[in-house]
Amino acid sequence: MRTQIAFYFLVLCAAVPAPLPAQATDCNDPYGSPKANAVAEQQWENKSSPVYVDATNLARDLGTRGIKVECIRRSKEEHLFEGQKGAAWFKTNQGSFEVWFLPDAKAAAIVFAKVTARPAPTFLRSGSSELFIQHENIVFHVSQGDQTLAANLQRALQQP
C-alpha cells in the first residue's frame, strides 16, 4: 500500500509542471493594479493581440541579435494611428520599450516622421525625452530618454 501511494505521488509530481520562476511578476506594470497586470498577462497568453505573431517573431529576431526578450504584453499604445496593426510592450535584458506595428514600411515612415517632428505630439510627452527608431514596418518607442537602450536596439537592427 505504501509503495502504491509513493508511486502515485511520484507520478503526480512528474505530471504537474513546476511553476515558472517569477516571470509574470517581473513583467508587471509597476504602476498598474494587480488586477490590470493579471488581465494584461492573460490577454497576451490568450494570443488576443492583433500583433501576437509579429511581436513573437520580433522577440525571436532580437534574441538572435543579442537582445533577450524577457516578456511581451499588449500595449496601451495599440491604437494611436490610423491603420496601425497594433502594438506590444517588450521587457528585455536591456530595458523596456513599446513597438508599433504598421502595415508596411511606408506607413511606418509616415508615423516615424510624425512623432519625430518638433514639437512632439502631446500624447507622447511625459516630461522626459522620447526616442523613436524605425525598422521596416515597425517603430520602436523608447521612453525615459534611455539612449543606451535606443543605441543598442539600433545597432542590433542593423545586423544582417
- As a whole number of Å, the CA-based R_g of the chain is 20
CA distance 79 to 10: 49
Over residues 105-126, mean pLDDT: 75
**Look-up: residue for cell 545597432?**
155
Write the single-letter amino acid at 30.
Answer: P
Summarize pLDDT for 2-31 with one digit per residue, the tens.
Answer: 444 433 443 334 433 333 333 344 787 766
Helix locations, the chain, DSSP H: 2-15, 23-26, 34-45, 52-64, 105-116, 147-158
User: What's the DSSP call for residue 121?
Assistant: P
Q: Which range is least confidently modeled, 16-25, 44-53, 125-134?
A: 16-25
Helices and strands (DSSP H and E) totals, the chain: 6, 5
